[in-house]
Structures are given as C-alpha cells and as structure tokens.
Amino acid sequence: MPSEDRIAQALEAISDTKDFFVSSVAMSAEEVRGVLERERGVNENPQVRLAHELGPFAAGRIDLERLAPVIGVNETLGEETRRKIQSAFEALMDLKKAGDEIFTAKVPLDGYLRGTVFAALGRVGVAFGAARSVEWALHDIAPPEGVEDALERFPPNLWNRAERGCSPPIVIEVEGQDLRAASLGELLEGSQKIVLVVNGPAAPAPLVRLITPGVTVIQTDDPTQLSALAASPGPGVAALMPEGAAKFTHVPGEGKGLNERLNVEYLPEKEPKRALGAISAFQQVEELRQLASMTASVEAMATMEVESGSGAPPMDEAGQLASWLIHQANFTGV
Amino acid sequence: METKLPIVGADASGGKGSPKGRQITQAKMSTVEIVSDPGEGAQKCAQIFGAISAKMGNGVWTVEIIPAEIQPPPRLPAGASGNRIRIGSVPVTNWGDRSKVVVALNDQVLLARHRLDALEDDAIVLIENMWKDHTDEDIRQQWVDAMEEVSDRNYRIIEIPMEEECLKIVDNPRRGKNMWVLGLLCYLYDRDLELAAAQIADTFRKKAQEITDRNVELLNAGFSWAAENLGFGFEVRPIGDDRPHVVMNGNEALAMGAVASGMDLAAMYPITPATSVSHHLGEEFLKFGGLLHQAEDEIAAAGVAIGASWSGKCAFTITSGPGLALKTEFIGLAIMTEIPLVVVDVQRGGPSTGLPTKVEQSDLLAALYGQPGDAPRVVIAPATIEECFYSMITARKIAEAFRTVVMVLSDANLATGVSPFPRPELDPSWVAAPPDLSPIPEGLRPYDWDPQTGLSRRFIPGSPGGMHTLTGLAHDEGSKVAYDSEINQRASAMRSRKLAVFQSTLKPPSVNGPEEGDMLVVGWGSTKGAIEEAVEEAREEGLSVSNLHLTFLSPLEPGLKEIFSRFKKVVTIEINYSDEPDDPYITPENRRLGQLAWLLRAHILVDVDCWTRVLGEPLRPGAILNAIREKMPEGGVS
C-alpha cells in the first residue's frame, strides 16, 4: 500500500484525539478573541462591554451603570500587551485553520526519529505556547527560561502536566532503518499518541523496548488495529510496519498482568543477520528475543491461570508499596 | 355487550379521495396530542411534528406526557406516554388548556387523557381500531368500557386501522406506527412532507439508511391514507417572522447556553428531569473544549465542580430536587470559601423521590434557604426556553464577578417542552477572560473584603504570592482558621453584603398590563406564558388585572412594595403546594402558602395571597383564569 494511504489511515485512526485537540485550539482562540473584543468594548464604554458579557438575559434587568463600577470594569490593555495577545490569537487561528499536515512529519533518510517527532510536536505545541503567551502578556510575566519564541515552537519539554494531558497526536513517516524507537520513550507521557508509518525494510520488533505497564504499544501492518491506540486514555505508540515484522498489541487497559495486556499475534521465527542502517543485527535480534521472552512469559502465566484458576500472581503489600513509589517517582524518560 | 357509542368509521364527510371536498378549519392555535404505551414512539412522532411545525414558521410549544414509571405494563391509563403539541399563527408560550385533536394508539391511553380533562368537549379522537376486535376478550371488553366512559363527551371518534396499514410495510407495527401517524398528522395540518422526511433522516442519522427509508415510507403511507379517508384538516398559518430560528427544549437550551458562555466543566449525576442537559452536553461540550464529568454521586458532582472552579475554571453542576438536597453541604462550602459556582436545578415534583417526571416549582425555598448556617446566594429563574439559554451566560458572569453561588431554577415543563426562538448570535464576550493569574500584590489576602461591597480578589492557585489554605471553617481575611468572635460576624456580613450590592444593581420588574388595578398576579419561572395568557383573557372579560413575573428571586428585584401598593390585591400563581383557605382546620394563621407568596410576605410585608396546584402538569391558562375570577376583590369587574 502506498505510504500516503497508510498515513491517511493513521490520521483517521487518531481522528478523535486530533479533533479534540483542534477543538481545544478553537476554544482557546475564541477566548483570546473575547479578550481582544472586550478591550475594544471597554475602550468605547465599560457598560457596553458589561452588557455583552452578561448577555441578553440581563438586558433590562440589571443596571449596568451601577454594576460596572462595583465589579471594576475599567482596566484596558497597553499597546504592547495588545500586540502580544493579537499575535497569539493569530497563531491559534493559523493552527485552527491548518489541515492534517500539522499532525504529520517525515524523518529524512538517515535522520533522527526523536528529533523529528520533537520538532513536529514543538510546531503543533505552539497552541500551548500561544495560550501561555496570552497569560504572560495579560499579567506582565516574562516567559520562563528556555522559551525563545512560544509562537514559533513550543516543544514537549516545556509543556505542563495539563498540556501533556491533551497533547496533540502525531503521525510520523520513517524509513525502517531509521526506526530507533527507544528514543521515543521520554515523549510518551500524558496522553501523547504517536503513529509511525514505516517504509522499507525494518527490524522485526523495534517497538518492544517501549513496552511499559502504562504505555499502549502496537506493532502491526493492519491499520484497523490502530483503534486500540485511539481508545487508550494514556500515552501510546503504534507502528504500521512492512510485512514480515512481528505483530503485537500491548494495551494497559486490558488488565494488570502482562498476560492480559500483551497479545502477540505474530512472532517471526527467523532472526535478522544483517545490520539495517545504524541498527545492528545484534540489536534487532535482541529486540526479537525480548518479544519472544515476553511471549513465553505470557503463555506461562496463561497456563498458571488455567491451572490455578487465577490471573496474575497477587502482589503482596510490599510489592504494592514498591509499585506505588515507582509510580510516584515518575521515572518516565529517565 | 353493546353500547351506543359515538363512533364512526373512517370519516367520509369530505368524500373519499378528498382533499377536493375537504373541510379546512382555520385556527389561530391548535392543540394536538399523540398518546401511546411507552416504547411505541409517540414522543418521537410528536417531537418531529413539533419541529417541522416550527420550521414551517408556526409558534410551537410541546409538553411531554410521561408516565411516572419507566416501563409500566401496556394498556394502562397510568402508562400513557406521548406529547401535547400546541401550534399557532402567533408565538405559543404554554401548552394551553385542552386538546382539539388526539391520536390514541389504544383505548386505555385515551381514557387517561379523558380522565385528566385534557381534551376539548368536541375533540377529534383518532384511535387505533385493532383493540375493538382483539382476540382477547378482556381487551375487547376494555374497549367497550372505555368507549362507554368517554361517551359523556361529544368527542368525534374516528377509528383508524393503523396496525393493518402498517403491517403492509413493517412486520412489527409497534416500531413504525408512530411514523405512520406522523404522516396522518402531516396531512391534517398540511405539513411539508419533504421537511418531515428530512427531519426523520436527521432523527435517525446515526442508524442505518434503511431505517430512515422505512420510516419515510411509513410517513408517506400515513399521509396517503389520511388523504384517502379523512375529509377534514386544519390551517394554522405561520407567524411571519423571517428571522432564523432554532428549535429545542429547555434542557438543550441550558446545555447550549453553558457552551456559549464558555463554561469549562459540567459535573453531574443522572437525575430526572435534569439528565438530558448532560446528554446534550455530551454531544457538544467536548467539541468546544468543555469537559462533562459524570461523578459517582450528586455530592461528588458538586465537589468536582467546586474544585474545578477553585482552580480557575468555570464550572457548573446540574441536578433536580433530591440531588439538590444531597449537594447542600458542598454548596455551603462554595459559599463559605467564595468559590464561584453555577448550580442548575431542574425542578420536579417532590418531596423525596416524589414525581420524577412531573413538573413542580417546589424547590424555591430550598434553593434560597436550604443550607444550615447563613449561606446567601443568587437565585434566578428563566421563564422560557430561550431564557434557559441566555440565563447560563448571565449566571456565569454573576458567579465569577461576585465570587458566589448562582442557582438557576428551571423545571420539568421547560426541560422537556420544545419551542422555537430566534437563533442566538454568539458573542465572544460571553466567554469570560482567562482567570487573573497575575502576581498577588504584596500583603493582599484571599478575603480582603472591600468593607463597602464585600467583594475581594479571586485567588487562583498558581498566582505568584497567592499561596493560602482553603477552608470551610470560619476563617479570617488571610483564609486562616479563626474562631475569633468578631471574625465570623464580619465574614458573614461580607458574604451577605455582596447580595445587597447585587440587588442595588437590579432594575424593578415591569408590569404586564395597567400599572395599577384590582389585582396583580405574580409568578416566576415556567408559568409565565400561561399566566400572561390568562391575565390577558381576564382583561378582555373586563377584569382589572395585571401581572408581574420575577426573574431574580435572591436577591429579590427592587421596587416590589411600591408596585404592590398600586393594586388592591396581590396573588401569586405557582406550581407548588398551598393549603386552600376553606379546607378543614385551615385558618389564616396556620395556612401554608405558595413558596413565592411566603417569600414576598416576608420581604415586602404585604398580605400576598396565592393560588397553587401540584397536579403533576403545567398550569393551564383556563385554570388560572378561573382562579383570577374567584380571587378578584369585591367590585373587581370594571
């Protein structure tokens, strides 16, 4: 299948998440427009602004001349503040109008996957940068260290927890030889969804290194399987692989035990013997063996379940405490 | 058993194959009901009929006829389910008195409407005839008994072979009869069939195309049958208002109003009749950046909304009477901590679980005073479906500007009634500015009340220099727990002062009719349309009566004492309980009054009388008119 078609399928699979992000951008743009409109209104007449804010229900019922001074409708924005807010508004409107292309990127041949993803997220993350710029401008706060131009790029390392919670999904086209998936680990936070459309020869199980209890990981050649990624509330990554690669899904919502979360549909028997670009044969074999080992564990656990009639071995109190501490420490990306 | 029944077969007065000889009755208003067992789709049929009537430019008001049980046994009067639709060539503001036309899918649901005096004496009854010759002898006897019972009226009963006709198209007419009836009604009221088909397509848009096709086929079949067999019809001309309109019920209007006002979060727990606010939000809120949260219970829903609001979001919670009771403690917290909160209460009959699907206005005093301790808050009551939309914008602004709780009192009548109103022109100013996160000036505290107004700056978590402890305990200006004797007095005064300040910005309400006279009728909420219709009719009869409708109930709108002084008598009309003055043991001293009457007497010191009913249905203009006649002071006829 041509890569364009697979990109379209990937975008379709994450359309809900994408639409949610775009609607948030649209809402933010409207809020910022409201700030600008209000300022225009208040310059003309504070009561006019108040009348607009209260809406028609208040018309004829509330005396605006009395109310305006009580709740302090007198502040106006300075010229510089207004200019900054206007720029942020335009950035949001540009994002709102932009099509699917802002959610896609291509890794150049021999390029760096993480760098491409980081840059793409920085581009679409301008939505967060613009919203923050409005706050900084309104309250005369200097942008924090590390922010050069929040309306040009606002990469994920600057996002706060709430922003990571509604992070934009991204579809990345990448050659198999450049698919060094482990580098994406630190980006898989909040609700970040990454779909990789892989072209050309690829390692058999490159995504296996990303399997951790809270992250959805899907490696498949069937676009319909991407729906599990979209349905997952947490972070996730999926790769649409060329034929011959391993096929598996790791969905945290399916259960606590690895045997519940991991479903290996196809495991290649033949181990790679040749390097693929900078990815050594040893590394490829290592990944494949890791998946095979996980598969064996899953099968063993399933057998135990049948024999004992129970699921994953129950965790004792010390285990639960350790698990909680690890979760609290948030080692993601370390 | 044979009875002499006013039954005719398919009406032939206009001649078969009319419309040539069709008798058309022109009407300024016409009221039609569709009633069935639950699950037969009478409500869907009526909703579509109401929607296409509105789209054709008629005034429309619909009221759902809902059984108290979710799935009562079939063929029971108590299980009657359906809708009354009043359409007019003028704006329609209420459901009227009685219906001119009723389509009944069985004899028992017809009985239900008959016993409630819901039909005009000469109503046209279009009834499914399959029960008359049913194989079950009991059912045949019920039919006979029902016809006997309704024979005390001069109904024109027309038997319709709905089952037989629908079987030509579908295997199970229970799932399709409603669209066949819709076609029949479209013929009777000369509705645009293409519009009806489009509305059906919209209604079933999430289902397979063949469902829509089948329903349109039934629609056309019903229309054709009526054209062949019914020799009469009605003409209700459009209003002639060219402005674009929207058609929705009150709950949808509340939801859309919340979206338009830029609210960020709605937290709720399902409760009839408020739940559908969240259904509409569920479809639209997310698209506009909002979040709908179904909490584990009513209390948690209030807590989530308060938490979101504290963190700088604009939040509201939705409930009905029993849920309001559960939220009591948290509403007190919002008032004590001065966290803005909008609470929507879609009132139903009560107390306790009461009448979940029926209308009442019995939460007024609970909304005003239902808190231990002194807990002043703003209470507003939209009177129309259009006002449901706009009230949310005003509620948000007041809640945030005054750091207080604003309660929006709707009711089951507004919630499920459908009416058109001019399409709102969205104003970006309705969406409030982002919360003020600027650094807190040195020394400013979270409750540094302005001694004049009681207002203070809202501290949003994250504002530099704004760190403080939030507490529902008595606290000082710095939000520190304080039991100092002076502090509680001062803090209570400041929370109360905000209401006085807000009241000082309200305008006196306007009087509908002459500014002085024998009687002033005072109402609030959804009764406005029915009261105005009754009062205008009373004036046409020569009675000296005006009316006034209150929107702000806490604080009360100003100038009431002066307005009341211009009338010999003031009477509230409400859908809540009051003792009848002539009932056993009832004296002027112990008589319990309508809730607004209590409120007005306490605030205005005027001897306000009341007329109230809790019949589980909206007030009828005719009943209000009778009450006005009875309560007119001596010499009331001018």
pLDDT of B154-166, one tens digit each? 999 999 999 999 9
B49 compared with B1, residue with greater pLDDT: B49
Q: B246-420 is classed in which CATH architecture?
A: 3-Layer(aba) Sandwich (3.40)
Partner residue facing B433 (CB), from A19, A34, A67: A34
The predicted structure's pLDDT at residue B635: 56
**Residue of A231, A250, A155 whose CA lies nearest to A193:** A231
| Residue corresponding to tokens 């039919």 | B143
Mean of per-residue pLDDT scores for chain B = 93
The predicted structure's pLDDT at residue A268: 93
Partner residue facing B286 (CB), from A23, A34, A60: A23
The predicted structure's pLDDT at residue A328: 62
Q: What span, in angstroms and rounded, lies between the C-alpha atoms of B526 and B619? A: 9
Residues A209, A163 share a domain: no
The predicted structure's pLDDT at residue A24: 87
Sequence letter at residue B100: K
Q: Sort out which chain B residues have CB atoms less than 8 A from A19's CB and list them.
A: 287
pLDDT of B409-466, one tens digit each? 999 999 999 999 999 998 888 887 667 777 888 899 999 999 999 999 999 998 889 9
pLDDT of B237-292, one tens digit each? 999 898 999 999 999 999 999 999 999 999 999 999 999 999 999 878 888 888 99
Nearest CA in chain A to B440: A139
Enclosing domain of residue A299: 202-308
Which of A137-141, A265-269, B450-454, B632-636 has the weakest average pLDDT?
Answer: B632-636
Q: B511-631 is classed in which CATH architecture?
A: 3-Layer(aba) Sandwich (3.40)
Per-residue confidence band for B404, with pLDDT thresholds at 50, 70 and 90: very high
Distance in Å, alpha carbon of B375 to nearest chain A alpha carbon? 21
The B residues from 153 to 192 touching A (CB cutoff 8 Å) are none
Contact partners, residue B629, CB within 8 Å, separation at least 6: B538, B541, B543
The predicted structure's pLDDT at residue A104: 94
Range A19-40 average pLDDT:
84
Partner residue facing A66 (CB), from B262, B391, B505: B505
Which of A111-115, A305-309, B300-304, B575-579 has the weakest average pLDDT?
Answer: A305-309
Residue limits of CATH 3.40.50.970 in chain B: 246-420
DSSP state of A122: H
| Residue corresponding to tokens 């008798």 | B23
The predicted structure's pLDDT at residue A44: 67
Mean of per-residue pLDDT scores for chain A = 86
Residues A21, A135 share a domain: yes
Residues A164, A34 share a domain: yes
Q: Sort out which chain A residues have CB atoms less than 8 A from B557's CB and list them.
A: 61
Residues A136, A5 share a domain: yes
Residue limits of CATH 3.40.920.10 in chain B: 7-235
Range B564-571 average pLDDT:
98
Q: Is the Cβ–Cβ distance between A49 and A77 less than 8 Å?
A: no
Q: What span, in angstroms and rounded, lies between the C-alpha atoms of B10 and A327? A: 75
Q: What span, in angstroms and rounded, lies between the C-alpha atoms of A264 and A246? A: 8
Residues A137, A62 share a domain: yes
Residues A122, A13 share a domain: yes
Per-residue confidence band for A1, with pLDDT thresholds at 50, 70 and 90: low
* Helix H or strand E encompassing A18: helix A15-44
Give domain status of residue A215, yes or no: yes
Residues A97, A19 share a domain: yes
Q: Is the Cβ–Cβ distance between A63 and B507 less than 8 Å?
A: yes
Q: What span, in angstroms and rounded, lies between the C-alpha atoms of B452 and B501? A: 9
The predicted structure's pLDDT at residue B410: 98
Distance in Å, alpha carbon of B256 to nearest chain A alpha carbon? 14
Range B314-327 average pLDDT:
96
CATH 3.40.50.300 given to domain B7-235 = no
Question: What are the start-end ranges of the H helices in A110-246?
Answer: 113-124, 126-138, 161-165, 227-231
- Given an 8 Å threshold on Cβ–Cβ distance, is A139 in contact with B436? yes
- Given an 8 Å threshold on Cβ–Cβ distance, is A34 in contact with B431? yes
Residues A124, A25 share a domain: yes
Question: What are the start-end ranges of the H helices in B82-189?
Answer: 107-115, 137-150, 162-167, 177-188
Q: What span, in angstroms and rounded, lies between the C-alpha atoms of B137 and A183? A: 79
Q: Sort out which chain A residues have CB atoms less than 8 A from B551's CB and list them.
A: 57, 61
Percent of chain B past pLDDT 90, that is, above it, reads 86
Q: How many domains does chain A have?
A: 2
Range B568-576 average pLDDT:
98
Compute how many other C-beta atoms are within 10 angstroms of the C-beta atom of residue A112: 14
Give domain status of residue A248, yes or no: yes
Give domain status of residue A292, yes or no: yes
Q: What span, in angstroms and rounded, lies between the C-alpha atoms of B246 and B243? A: 10
Nearest CA in chain A to B550: A61
Q: How many Å is the Cα radius of gyration of chain A? A: 25
Residues A115, A231 share a domain: no
Q: How far is CA B521 from CA B11, B347, B360, B614, in A?
A: 45, 22, 18, 18
Residues A83, A14 share a domain: yes
The predicted structure's pLDDT at residue A330: 58
Residue limits of CATH 3.40.50.920 in chain B: 511-631
Q: What span, in angstroms and rounded, lies between the C-alpha atoms of B341 and B404? A: 6
- The yes-or-no verdict on residue A116 having pLDDT over 80 is yes
The predicted structure's pLDDT at residue A23: 87
- B421 interface with A at CB cutoff 8 Å: no
b/e string for A175-185 if b means 16 or more Cβ within 10 A?
bbbbbbbebbb
The predicted structure's pLDDT at residue B485: 84
The predicted structure's pLDDT at residue B163: 96
Nearest CA in chain B to A141: B438
Q: What span, in angstroms and rounded, lies between the C-alpha atoms of A21 and B479? A: 37
Which of A137-141, A158-162, A238-242, A330-334 has the weakest average pLDDT?
Answer: A330-334
